[in-house]
Chain A
Amino acid sequence: MEQKLSPNDSISIIEKALSETNKEKTGASYYYILWGTVMTLYFILQYLVLTTSNNYSNTLATIAWLLFPIGGILSFIQSKKTDKTEKIKTLNERVYIFVWGGTGLCLGIMGFSGYLMQPKNYVTMVLLLFGFASFVTGGVTRFTASIIGGVICVICAGLSFHFSQSTQFLIGALGVFSACVVPGIVMRKTKTLNV
């Protein structure tokens, strides 16, 4: 049975539907918090490796590298879980997939060809990539926490040039924490944004 609609009814149907879809979450917060934590811990452990002069430094370096496969496994489990339960794909999901996918690809290239780079520039490059990705995704999805996090991360990248390699890792931890962990937590708490 079809009901006759007045123009106001039509507008109210459209508004209601759009407000419903605007509330839908992309599920990106999990990955922001997970990979933000992985990178933050990695940088802190690298700082400890460089500043600890005893036998623990080798163990710390191994633990640091183990964080990545652990992050990969947790991401895989989460994506399988989401595939089973999600009923929609939001428009912003593509933004996250392509921007952060591209960033991951660049980081991978840097990881494999890192020996060609000056070690002193490594943290700076990572921070610039994270800052850029966070800034762009925040801008497209109109998510202020991500924009601010991206700016802080890029500022950290600029500052890191002027410090020793060990201190660079601490600055790196701060930058990645601002660009990923903080926006991830805010994303989880916000109820009115499609992030």
Chain B
Amino acid sequence: MFKQLDPLLHSQLRLAIISLLIGLEEAEFVYLKEKTNATAGNLSLQLDKLRKAGYISLNKGYKKNYPVTICKITPKGKVAFKKYVEDIKQYLNTD
């Protein structure tokens, strides 16, 4: 019986965001934008979805008088990512 994949993570951009954040302490919005090649608008939207699910935290601040958004994966996000990887392995084993 295959487990249902987390619909929040089973999306190209959101999975890329979580996969980047899992390997980092924290990342700025511009870093995620560079690495995912997403548009600012789409990235904001997906980050907000992940934040609402409690998978990431977003902190807004200033650097050199410019606004910055710092993104960080939460413990809940780490658990969800780990589970997603475990679940996806099931699908791969049957290929």
Listed in ascending order, the chain A residues whose CB lies under 8 Å from chain B are 2-3, 5, 7-11, 13-14, 16-18, 20-22, 24, 83-84, 87-91, 93-94, 194
Contacts and interface: CB of A to CB of B under 8 A. Distances in A.
Contacts of A94: 25
Contacts of B26: 88-89
A7 B23 contact: no
B44 interface: no
A195 B45 CA distance: 32
The A contact surface, by secondary structure, is helix
24 contacts: A2-B12, A2-B13, A3-B12, A7-B88, A7-B92, A8-B92, A10-B15, A11-B92, A13-B16, A14-B15, A14-B85, A16-B16, A16-B19, A18-B19, A20-B20, A20-B35, A21-B22, A21-B24, A87-B27, A87-B30, A88-B27, A90-B23, A91-B23, A91-B25
Contacts, number: 75
Given A5-B10, A87-B31, A13 B19 contact: yes
Contacts of A24: 24
A101 B85 CA distance: 35
Interface of B: 10-13, 15-16, 19-20, 22-28, 30-31, 35, 63-64, 84-85, 88, 91-92, 95
Contacts of B22: 17-18, 21
B10 A10 contact: yes
**Of A3, A17, A83, which is in contact with the most chain B CB atoms at under 10 Å from its CB?**
A17
Contacts of A16: 16, 19
Nearest to A23: B23
B64 to A, nearest CB: 6
A45 to B, nearest CB: 38
B27 A2 contact: no
A80 to B, nearest CB: 11
A166 to B, nearest CB: 44
Nearest to A20: B35
